[in-house]
Amino acid sequence: MTAPSPQPGQGPTTSSVGPGQSRRTALPLTLTLLGTLVVIGTYLSVLLTQPANLGIDLGHTTLWVMLGYLLGGILLAAGTLPLIPRRVLALIPVAIALNIIIGQIIGNYTPVPLYLDSIGTVMIGVLAGPAAGAFTGIISNLIWGVTLSPSVIAFSSGAAFIGAAAGWAARLGVFRTPWTAVIVGAVAGVPAGAIGAPVAAYVFGGGLGAGTGGVVAILQAAGVEMFNATFAQSMFSDIVDKALIFALAYVVIRSLPKRIIGRYPFAAYSRPKAVRTGSTPQSGAPVESAPTAE
């Protein structure tokens, strides 16, 4: 479907910035803001209440925390969906499957204290931007939670953050070199670990995976308090995990054929400068355009 062209003599059309378009943009931004506030409110509530009997009486705590993060995740997903081009939506199911398969195997069947469950989310963020990355992270965790592991739902906000962070990093050109990808991935792991640690500690009584739970158990055996043990494990695991995933994203981006990269204009930010200049001689950078109907 193509938009009607302007009549001769009328000049460039300005309908794209009219009141209707402003309203269509305002609603997603409002939903995204509300979702962010719900997630932050839930996070702060967990920190402030801090159940004393960790790992024993988790029913009430689990319920309201799960509902809080679930509501925040749904609002964030509803707010980011309208901002995603349709061609990108076709890739999201593949990214979700990749997240779930790798995360399920690493988390349940290996002693590795990592997750590796956001490689698909990060790739979507690099190819299509922060909104698409955040949406992929949220939907991935919701589907994973409903089908295989309900506890994953409570970590949807962290998944959304990593997807958005990957998009922001790509926009800044982080994925042009492997070193910047690794460093920024490690930096992104710090807030990701901080987001997940209170949920893992106060709701689920420590690490959930075979590897991460083992690290928490070792630290507790050494005399470290539950939250401190979980926080230390989350920081270590998330920093290493996100550094590795950002490095893998760099390798994948550099390996993709130019014809594939060309389908996703946002990905040009992650190509070497010489390639970007050659492909966009007038501006030297791709233009982030609004999603169009296809």
DSSP codes joined into one string, 34-94: HHHHHHHHHHHHHHHH--SSTTTS-HHHHHHHHHHHHHHHHHHHHHHGGGS-HHHHTTHHH
Q: Which two tokens stand for residue 99?
A: 């997240």
Q: How far apart are CA 291 and CA 268, in angstroms?
A: 17
Q: How far apart are CA 79 and CA 25, in angstroms?
A: 9
Q: How far apart are CA 172 and CA 53, in angstroms?
A: 44
Q: Are 245 and 126 in contact (CB under 8 A)?
A: no
Lookup result for tokens 């469950």: 117
What Rg value do the Cα atoms of the chain yield, rounded?
A: 21
pLDDT digits (tens, 9 = 90+) for 27-61: 888 988 898 898 888 888 777 776 554 444 455 66
**Residue 29: phi, psi to the nearest 5?**
-65, -40
Q: Which two tokens stand for residue 8?
A: 């001769």
10 Å CB burial of residue 289 (0-12, 13-18, 19+) is exposed
**What residue type is 67 in one-letter code?**
L
pLDDT at 209: 65
pLDDT at 28: 85
The average confidence (pLDDT) of the chain is: 80
Query: CB-based contacts of 174: which residues, under 8 Å, 6+ apart?
Result: 180, 181, 184, 246, 270
**Residue 3: phi, psi to the nearest 5?**
-75, 145
Cα separations in angstroms, 240 against 169, 180, 237, 252:
17, 14, 5, 18
Q: How far apart are CA 57 and CA 59, in angstroms?
A: 6
Kindly report which listed range (26-30, 37-41, 219-223, 271-275) carries the lowest average pLDDT score: 271-275
Share of the chain above pLDDT 90, in %: 32
pLDDT at 213: 79
pLDDT at 190: 95
Distant-in-sequence contacts of 24-33, Cβ < 8 A, 24+ apart: 24/82, 27/79, 27/82, 28/78, 28/79, 28/80, 28/81, 28/82, 28/83, 29/79, 30/79, 31/75, 31/76, 31/78, 31/79, 32/75, 32/76, 32/79, 32/80, 33/79
pLDDT at 294: 38
pLDDT at 210: 66
Lookup result for tokens 């992104």: 188
**What residue type is 171 in one-letter code?**
R
Mean pLDDT of 212-222: 84
